[in-house]
């Protein structure tokens, strides 16, 4: 589960991570009040206004309606409402949103932290995530802050610092010092970075996160270390024990099909193809999508109805798939193990009748327990449903109906 920057910073601050202070606002008037409070609390006279959407590249992104960037600087209180108006309720298009963009409902009004001082401010990159290859958490850092880590990895991989942390032992102070040293820090900035890394790891571990990415981490002109941006991804499977974090979920930022599927107990991911897929089992679903592509088609979704599929889950799957206007055919691929094929076939027929007229052709491939009985139910239903024996045959039948 992703959360907004302002929420991520709240989590970080609660664990002692120093952040660029900010206040969320949902109107130009609220943005002005937020700026006034920031001046009173921090003394700042410049303000950074940041669109709050679940996507990166906001600073380089553009609001369709006004041409404003997703992150702008207001150099006075008077500038804040107008600049906020240019962002709020606009559609922000970034490299991660696609051309359709995302509606901006909130902005973060943040203090200016790039103030003059004894030294030049310097940006760094820092993230913590799980390294599945080693079963350890890994801290990744770089002196090239403000740049996508993918770009750094491709152009200057030697600038990526890696420190593996045993999740059973947790981070040790020497590991934080090692990272700070390799970043070239010294003096007070070195000490502050060590504290920053230790606190960041504590927040990552306690919140059951799958990823923390701070880009940039800023060394200010007076050697403070601050999180200027924050991307936090939480493990969905651990949200039951982090109810305060689960409450941060913003359903408006998620695909409505995926939200509806989750409410029905289905695992669904929307794709860009034209063949709807309904399968029991994640591995089988991946194989089904591969076979569709090998046969010349394009899967419209990943949909795993689970091992205990019944008429209700099949109907819910149908309804979600059919809401996608790109879907021109549906392939149901079920291996009967825990659930019998005849039960799935009956569920398909019941769901078909419950929904009413389904305009797209449906191909059903059943194998496993009571597969023959299931195929008979499909063939004798009188509905526009075609049965298949092998997965290859099913995929080819889908392609045939699409080409007809």
- Whether residue 135 is annotated as binding a ligand: the answer is no
Looking at 279-388, list the stretches that DSSP marks H as alpha helix, in order from N- to C-terminal side.
282-294, 311-322, 341-355, 371-379
Q: What is the DSSP string of 208-257?
A: TEEEEEEEEEEE-TTS-EEESS-EEEE-GGGGGG-HHHHTT--GGGS-HH
* Widest distance between CA atoms in the chain: 83
Q: Which of 144, 163, 192, 213 is catalytic?
A: 213
Q: Which of 6, 47, 124, 125 is catalytic?
A: 125
- Whether residue 242 is annotated as binding a ligand: the answer is no
Tell me the C-alpha distance between 216 and 218, whole Å.
6
- Whether residue 229 is annotated as binding a ligand: the answer is yes
- Whether residue 360 is annotated as binding a ligand: the answer is no
- Whether residue 400 is annotated as binding a ligand: the answer is no
- Whether residue 215 is annotated as binding a ligand: the answer is yes
- The 8-class DSSP code of residue 38 comes to H
- Whether residue 57 is annotated as binding a ligand: the answer is yes
- The 8-class DSSP code of residue 31 comes to H
- Whether residue 48 is annotated as binding a ligand: the answer is no
Which residues have CB under 8 Å from 151's CB, separation 6+?
none
- Whether residue 336 is annotated as binding a ligand: the answer is no
Tell me the C-alpha distance between 325 and 201, whole Å.
44
- Whether residue 58 is annotated as binding a ligand: the answer is yes
Determine whether 62 is an active site residue.
no
- Whether residue 337 is annotated as binding a ligand: the answer is yes
Determine whether 47 is an active site residue.
no
Which residues have CB under 8 Å from 191's CB, separation 6+?
none
Residues annotated within a binding site:
50, 57-59, 113, 123, 215, 229, 280, 337-339
Residues annotated within a binding site for ATP:
50, 57-59, 113, 123
Residues annotated within a binding site for substrate:
280, 337-339
Active-site residues: which are they?
A: 125, 213
């Amino acid at each position: 589960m992703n959360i907004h920057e302002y929420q991520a910073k709240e989590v970080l601050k609660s664990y002692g991570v120093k952040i660029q202070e900010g206040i969320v606002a949902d109107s130009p008037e609220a943005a002005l009040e937020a700026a006034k409070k920031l001046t009173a609390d921090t003394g700042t006279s410049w303000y950074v206004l940041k669109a709050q959407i679940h996507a990166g590249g906001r600073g380089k992104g553009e609001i369709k309606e006004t041409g404003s960037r997703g992150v702008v600087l207001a150099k006075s209180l008077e500038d804040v409402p107008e600049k906020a108006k240019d962002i709020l309720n606009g559609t922000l298009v970034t490299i991660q949103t696609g051309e359709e963009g995302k509606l901006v409902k909130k902005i973060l009004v943040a203090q200016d932290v790039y103030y003059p001082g004894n030294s030049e401010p310097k940006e760094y990159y820092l993230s913590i995530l799980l390294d599945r290859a080693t079963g350890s958490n890994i801290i990744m850092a770089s002196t090239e802050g403000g740049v996508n880590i993918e770009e750094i990895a491709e152009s200057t991989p030697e600038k990526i610092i890696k420190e593996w942390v045993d999740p059973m032992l947790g981070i040790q102070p020497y590991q934080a010092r090692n990272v700070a040293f390799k970043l070239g820090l010294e003096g007070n900035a070195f000490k502050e970075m060590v504290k920053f890394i230790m606190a960041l790891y504590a927040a990552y571990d306690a919140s059951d996160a799958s990823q923390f990415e701070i880009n940039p981490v800023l060394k200010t002109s007076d050697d403070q270390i601050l999180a200027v941006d924050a991307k936090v991804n939480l493990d969905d499977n651990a949200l039951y024990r982090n109810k305060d974090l689960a409450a941060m979920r913003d359903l408006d930022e998620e695909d409505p099909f995926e939200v509806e599927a989750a409410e029905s107990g289905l695992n669904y991911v929307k794709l860009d193809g034209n063949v709807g897929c309904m399968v029991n089992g994640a591995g089988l679903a991946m194989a089904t999508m591969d076979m569709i592509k090998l046969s010349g088609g394009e899967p419209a979704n990943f949909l795993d109805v689970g091992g205990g599929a019944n008429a209700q889950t099949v109907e819910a799957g149908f309804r979600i798939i059919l809401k996608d206007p790109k879907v021109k055919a549906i392939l149901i691929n079920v291996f009967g193990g825990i659930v019998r094929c005849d039960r799935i076939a009956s569920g398909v027929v019941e769901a078909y009748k419950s929904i009413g007229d389904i305009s797209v052709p449906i191909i059903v491939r059943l194998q496993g327990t009571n597969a023959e009985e299931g195929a008979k139910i499909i063939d004798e239903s009188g509905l526009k449903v075609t049965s298949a024996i092998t997965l290859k045959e099913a995929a080819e039948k889908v392609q045939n109906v699409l080409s007809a």
